[in-house]
């Protein structure tokens, strides 16, 4: 039997049972799951394997590409600048990045970037994945483009370019590449093992992603839609995440590397009114901005019904019925990984795995674990 390691508080034993069931069935290859309740780590589990052939065990310090959970950390970087008074969410992007005003984007505001409503959700064609690895050049191309829909009127998921847009603001304000800002101002102060991209020294402890049986094929989409333009601007497959070029890049939308413990440690200050083990990290008022709803409806790119706040999705039972209503901010990574910050319960949940499901957001496995977490919290003493 595949070994599951780690600890859970007594009330959360059913969460361990749910994970063991998925490992036993073979649905999981390797994973980590962590839950923090007001600074108490009530779940810290890891197990399975780092590889599809199930020969290398998933260790406590194993990390993997977490796909769009990366966006939650990029959003946190922007919130830090808002918290410091350096970034105004309601200011035009062009105040900080003058070139972005080109082609009718002079009225696009910072909040539009952070809520996927900017109209710039990818590169105009022709575009190759390699184009995104030159972050400054790709951002310049985006700044010169005409928006693909009227900014602010709807969301269109910024699949691979969210980090280019938000990261360019970080760079303009601080002089630092996004990955360095995250390392110096988020990961190091919080003491978390999270990085955008991958340092060479950490290559030996990375779990490769196991791509879904069928990669997404955008060719069937209407070629005039924002969805087609996004998924071909550029096209990419899940296997790209296992390549050295992907891992070396500064992709604040999709190539963060970490595990559930590091995701939770990084995001827990949001759920805990800005508090961290090392002192105040954010002001409560800044966190409140997350819940300023920017859009709600069918996303033009993902096709999901999504409510976007500032930097994070807000609960919407039409899409994920297993996330309750309330002051919850969340997002997930392609294939099923999840990051949930529940302010009402001062709880943060992180789930990271390598065996990707077919869904853009969430999975049956994620639903089973998170349902078990909420049930345990409701019925038992979290300590």
Residues tagged active-site: 68
Residue 311: closest CA among 207, 169, 123 = 169
Question: E-strand spans in the chain?
Answer: 4-8, 30-37, 40-48, 63-65, 195-196, 206-207, 256-258, 275-276, 279-280, 295-298, 305-308, 313-314, 328-332, 338-342, 347-353
How is 247-264 classified by DSSP, letter by letter?
A: HHS--TTTBEEE-HHHHH
Question: E-strand spans in 238-336?
Answer: 256-258, 275-276, 279-280, 295-298, 305-308, 313-314, 328-332
Helix (H) / strand (E) containing 80: helix 69-83
User: Side-chain half-sphere of 289: how many Cα atoms within 13 Å?
Assistant: 23
Question: E-strand spans in 208-252?
Answer: none
69-83 helix and 162-174 helix, angle to the nearest 10 degrees: 30
Query: Please, what is the end-to-end C-alpha distance for the chain in angstroms?
Result: 29
């Amino acid at each position: 039997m595949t070994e599951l390691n780690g600890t859970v508080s007594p009330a959360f034993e059913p969460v361990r049972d749910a994970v063991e069931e998925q490992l036993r069935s073979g649905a999981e290859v390797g994973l980590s799951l962590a839950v923090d309740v007001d600074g108490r780590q009530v779940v810290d589990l890891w197990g399975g394997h780092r590889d599809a052939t199930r020969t290398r065990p998933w260790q406590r310090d194993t990390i993997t590409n977490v796909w769009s959970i990366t966006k939650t950390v990029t959003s946190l970087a922007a919130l830090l600048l808002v918290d410091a008074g350096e970034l105004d969410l309601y200011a035009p992007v062009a105040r900080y990045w003058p070139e972005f005003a080109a082609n009718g984007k002079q009225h696009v505001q910072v909040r539009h970037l952070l809520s996927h409503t900017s109209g710039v959700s990818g590169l105009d064609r022709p575009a190759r994945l390699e184009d995104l690895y030159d972050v400054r050049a790709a951002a310049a191309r985006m700044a010169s483009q005409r928006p693909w829909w009227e900014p602010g009127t709807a969301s269109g998921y910024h699949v691979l370019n969210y980090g280019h847009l938000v990261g360019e603001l970080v760079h303009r304000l601080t002089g630092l590449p996004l990955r360095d800002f995250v390392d110096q101002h988020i990961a190091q102060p919080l003491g978390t093992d999270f990085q955008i991209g991958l340092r060479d020294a950490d290559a030996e402890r990375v779990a490769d992603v196991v791509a879904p049986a069928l990669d997404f094929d955008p060719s069937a989409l209407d070629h005039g839609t924002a969805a087609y333009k996004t998924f071909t601007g550029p096209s990419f497959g899940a296997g790209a995440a296992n390549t050295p070029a992907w891992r070396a890049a500064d992709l604040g939308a999709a190539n963060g590397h970490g595990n559930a413990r590091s995701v939770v440690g990084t995001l827990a200050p949001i759920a805990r009114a800005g508090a961290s083990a090392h002192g105040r990290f954010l002001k409560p008022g800044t966190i409140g901005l997350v819940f300023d709803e920017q859009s709600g409806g069918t996303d033009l790119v993902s096709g999901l019904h999504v409510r976007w706040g500032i930097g994070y999705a807000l609960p919407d039972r039409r899409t994920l019925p297993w996330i309750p209503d309330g002051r919850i901010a969340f997002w997930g990574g392609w294939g099923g990984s999840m990051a949930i910050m529940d302010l009402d319960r001062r709880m943060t949940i992180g789930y990271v795995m390598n065996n990707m499901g077919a869904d853009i957001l969430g999975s049956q496995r994620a639903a089973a674990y998170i349902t078990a977490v909420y049930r345990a919290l409701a019925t038992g003493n979290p300590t």
